[in-house]
Structure formats: structure tokens, C-alpha cells
Amino acid sequence: MNRRTFIYNVSGLALSVTVLPSFVPFYKDKMDRIAMGTLLFRYRFKRTKPRELAAIKNELTLLDVPMHHRDKFGIKKIEFWNEHFESLDPTYLESVKKAIKAAKSELLNVQIDRIQYNLASQNEEERLKSIKDVKEWIDGVAILGSKCIRINPGRPNGTVEKSIQSLKELKSYADQKKLTIITANHFGIETDPVKHVAIMNGVGKGIYTEPDFGNYSSPSVILPSLEQILPYAHIVSAKVVDFNDQIEHVTYDFDKCVQLCENKGFKGVYMVSQWSSKFHDIDYDKVADWVITHLKDNMKS
């Protein structure tokens, strides 16, 4: 999917969106439009086990994930969180790539979060170091054969202009590696959808958004904010947040978010994801099933 999938009008930076697909990817069924990452199962990885758990239940590594997601949920499109990498050593990365191939799966995206980088920094030394550090991850992700790499545009104290400057350089580098850069609304400068759109327009063709249901500040701003960045979407992060003991999502109206995407003409892939600042010792297999069921119930095709 690319931006030509969407028709939209821009007045300044305020979007009035009428979304109609000019190209519709072929999917055999709704499950082909669903992917799943490792973030949802972070309690099962050594590097992200919460201190509240004395021991890991059913430990996972990246080598296990392709078969796990395929056999447990019937999902072959996957996403890795960079916190779950054991290293960027090429030998290790090749072993992970083989595991993906063995499961006949596809690495759709790698999220780059847990490094100290700020692409919007007004401190030039910090900004240049950030670019260097992100390029190292681009190199590693390229070895895996991922389709996309998710890069954060910068922290809230940065500027749109510096973010654009950094992302232009990184896009050129990622293009050489046959990687597509996507940017989620991930608690940084881009949490303001107007700035997020300005960054997308400033960098130009070939960079996209990953609208994330779970990352805006309150339920009241989720839908209008998502609507502004949807025309630039490559994939959508169908992220849930808090659940009660009955495995019911309680943070915001998930179904309305999916319906918005579908009504605006999004025909791409939804990424099953979950994140909360709270510790929840619940069955995350059931959380995954909840998200999959609600995605399928609300997809048009």
C-alpha cells in the first residue's frame, strides 16, 4: 500500500479526508490482513520480563516467534520489537531469518524504541549520533529481510524541521537497503497529529505512518487524531491497553477505531499489539484472541 491508495484534501495542515482505494491488495481472507508482534508477549522475554514476575512462564525468543504465532494464532505476518533482539551480530540475525523462513512467515516490521535517540533534537551532536545509531539498526533489520522499520520522529522538545532533516537522510539510507520507514504516534513530537502530518509532507514520498490506537493521550482525541494521519498509513497498529479480569478491553472503544479505518478506505494490515504502564498478570493469549476477533468482526473484507 502507498499514499496513492488514499484520496485526500489538505487545507494547511487540517485534513478533510475522503478515502477511496485506487489499488486494493488481494487477500484471501481477513486473517491475511492481521499481523502480530512481540510487544504483546513481552512478559515472556528475558529482556522485558517485569520485576513483578518471579519467573517467566513459557519463555519466548525471536527464534520461537514465527512458529509460535503461526501455530497458536494462524498468523504469518510478524513484527519484532528491538528490545527483544539478543544482538545485531549477523550470525544471530541470519538464524532468526532462517526461523522466519522455516515457518513460511513474513517479517513485516521492526520497532526501534529502546535506544537513546532523538531525530528532532536541536542539539546537532545529539541529532547526528541519533542518525548513526538508527542506521546501525537499519543495517541489522535489512539482514532479516523485513519489509519495514518503525522509527520515532523525535522527542516532544525537538522541532519538526530537525525531524524532517534527519528522516530525509535515513530514508535515503533505508531505500538502499530496500526498507520502508514508517512512523507511529509514539509519545514523541509526532503525538501531535498536525506535526506528524507536517513531518510526512516534509520528508515526501516513500515514508508512511503507522497509526496506533493506543498511543494518544485520551479517548476523546483518538478518533480525530487517527483521522489526520490515516491517509499516510502503511500499516495500522491495533493496540489495546488495559483489560479487566474478564478479558474485556476497558481503555477506549477499540471497535470504533477499526470502523474508522475501514470507513476511510484502509485496506492494509492491522498489527495486533498491547501496551500498558500497569502490570497485568493475565492470559495474553486471550488478549490476542480478543483483538483478532474484534478486528475480524469490524473489517469490511
- SS3 of residue 250 by DSSP: coil
> 133-151, pLDDT tens digit by residue?
999 999 999 999 999 999 9
What's the chain's average pLDDT? 92
Say what the pLDDT of residue 28 is.
82
Decide if pLDDT at 236 tops 90: yes
Average pLDDT estimate for 156-161: 97
- Segments making up each domain of the chain, as ranges: 3-298
pTM over 0.95, yes/no: no
CATH topology of domain 3-298: TIM Barrel (3.20.20)
Say what the pLDDT of residue 35 is.
98
Give phi and psi for 78, each to the nearest 5. Answer: -130, 165
Q: Which residues contact 243 (CB under 8 A, 6 or more apart)?
A: 249, 250, 280, 282, 287, 290
Distance CA 134, CA 157 (A): 19
Say what the pLDDT of residue 114 is.
84
Distance CA 265, CA 248 (A): 27
Helix (H) or strand (E) holding 184: strand 180-184
**Residue 77: pLDDT band with limits 50, 70, 90:** very high
